[in-house]
Structure 1
């Protein structure tokens, strides 16, 4: 994972407490790192069955000596990628792509990963799909990455922790809460074999997404973050427009609920005042003296003119409304609400 993406995750979760998140994960490990001899034997069996040319056999043998090196799971995954590159030209292109730091030009496509047109056994293809999915996630192309990672079996890859981590990153960003919690639960079931950089962030992601509620301002902020990511990638199609409309609809509902709550509070306050005293004043108030009412002074939204709405409020009143709503929520959600008002204003301008 690139430092940029890893740092962005850490920063976005920095305020979240991970206390108690691991308590629900005390269970038997659901995965284990494969051993070097087992992977090497799979390769020997495959090459023997495929009757590979002597030159390829020699190259692969040099890459996989009998004496096991002290490789990490990630390094074993790279060995498998390099092995595939020796055996096939398209796999060589995949290796060059996934070992590069960033994408240049159009997104490279490798449709053969999803079929059996290449002479690779299923377990090798799974490892190649993981490498492609990992690279896509590092490029922030999370939808494409998830397509590669969500069905790849952890038992077949050389680096199962990395597969689960990148899958969880996609689910976290794409707001697939239940899937993300399940993936992180599987990942954290074997904490002893997780790279430290994955372990810390995985715990933070779990503590962050577990309390997420549908239609909350937290969810809306995450939806807007995903819209920004897509726009940064130059994507402004139907998916983005749908998400933008979803954000506005959720904020509309939230504001409507807030208005109803304010109405109820006002009605309760007025009812309390009326029931507290039936004494009539002996003389009318002097016009120059203020009345002694103690009501909140809020305007009933239902008494506003039909043409008045949040989108075309004058700047001063819009700022007051924004401030009132913002006070109900943490300050880091202010940008979400501001963007909501800007979108409404743009829609009014186009009418």
Structure 2
């Protein structure tokens, strides 16, 4: 009798897991239309700034001037973020920090990203803005920590969200997770731009053919180590990846020697002897099997881009300047200054 209850419970649990998996693969992600994006933005402003007719007028003018029905989902996302920029001080702090290369750190440093129970539309789009920015800067670990809590269905541009998440997973050699995300992008997402689809198909082919303990894997791990070192990271996670590279190379050399009928161990005994356990058990770039911590590093002063690669810096600057042109930020600053002056007491 007890055995039957256990079996029934197991079958029910398996059924629930199967349903959950099916639900994920059955989801279809569609970008918000220009009307839907505008209405959700206006609803958020009305809820968080009730009675602020001047702000409502500014945002309405932004959408009436720039809101074209033919705009791509990426441009609709820009309009949403520009609306949040003028309406929310936390968003302005985040965007300005990105624009000037300040505080390239963790999402927790920005209060607007750490709100526990914010409006889903607001929170998911603002988090996507910063996660995409981090991905462009090749800060894949930090970006992925945000992507994991973002619901693409709540984002104006779900194709962009899934694409940049897949880029992070591909760069970190997260084979299973990356293939799942790419499948959602290619098979379950509407209006995927050709450039996203083309790159995603290349990443899919690349991850599908990834094999553990091969020279190809070692080369990719070396590339990831170089990336981390370029970001000023040399902590335990990087060291463990380096140890795994050495261990894998030793195994490959030993296998080749055995195939050729040779002897000797490839000189890896001392390197392995210094390890308390297999590095793969702690942290492995090809699958992220460890706790997922990121290394401490010196990110430079807050008024510059630190030691980030120049190419990544240029890409991030272009991304921010395209989404938030300097003249727009200046116009918002002037608008807020006038509001402050109008509300200040006259002193009489």
| Fold-level similarity (TM above 0.5) | yes
Residues 70, 90 of structure 1: alpha-carbon distance in 2 compared, 3 angstrom cutoff:
same
Residues 117-196 of structure 1: matches in 2 within 5 Å?
121-189=119-187, 193-196=191-194
1:65 aligned counterpart, secondary structure: helix
Matched with 1:85 is: 85
Per-residue CA distance 1:281-314 (angstroms, 9 max, x = gap): xxxxxxxxxxxxxxxxxx5337xxxxx94799xx
Within the alignment, does 1:218 sit opposite 2:194 as a pair? no
Matched with 1:96 is: 96
Distance in structure 2 (CA, Å) of the matches to 1:246 and 1:229? 17
Aligned-residue RMSD, C-alpha: 2.7
Matched with 1:55 is: 54
Distance in structure 2 (CA, Å) of the matches to 1:28 and 1:257? 44
Q: Which stretches in structure 2 are left out of the alignment for 5+ residues?
A: 1-24, 271-348
Within the alignment, does 1:113 sit opposite 2:110 as a pair? no
Residues 166, 230 of structure 1: alpha-carbon distance in 2 compared, 3 angstrom cutoff:
same
Matched with 2:42 is: 44
2:64 aligned counterpart, secondary structure: coil
Task: Give the drift of 1:73.
Answer: 0.9
Q: Which residue of the other structure, out of 246, 249, 267, is the alignment partner of 1:248?
A: 246
Matched with 2:263 is: 300
Matched with 1:231 is: 229
Task: Give the drift of 1:259.
Answer: 2.3
Residues 154, 310 of structure 1: alpha-carbon distance in 2 compared, 3 angstrom cutoff:
closer
Per-residue CA distance 1:121-162 (angstroms, 9 max, x = gap): 121110000010001011111101111112211111011111
Residues 16-31 of structure 1: matches in 2 within 5 Å?
30-31=28-29
Matched with 1:341 is: none
Task: Give the drift of 1:191.
Answer: 7.2
Contact 2:250 2:268 in 1 (8 A): no
Distance in structure 1 (CA, Å) of the matches to 2:85 and 2:101? 19
Q: TM-score, normalised by structure 2?
A: 0.63
Task: Give the drift of 1:28.
Answer: 7.7
Find the structure with the greater CA-based Rg. Answer: 1
Q: TM-score, normalised by structure 1?
A: 0.63
Residues 111, 214 of structure 1: alpha-carbon distance in 2 compared, 3 angstrom cutoff:
farther
1:301 aligned counterpart, secondary structure: coil
Aligned pair count?
242
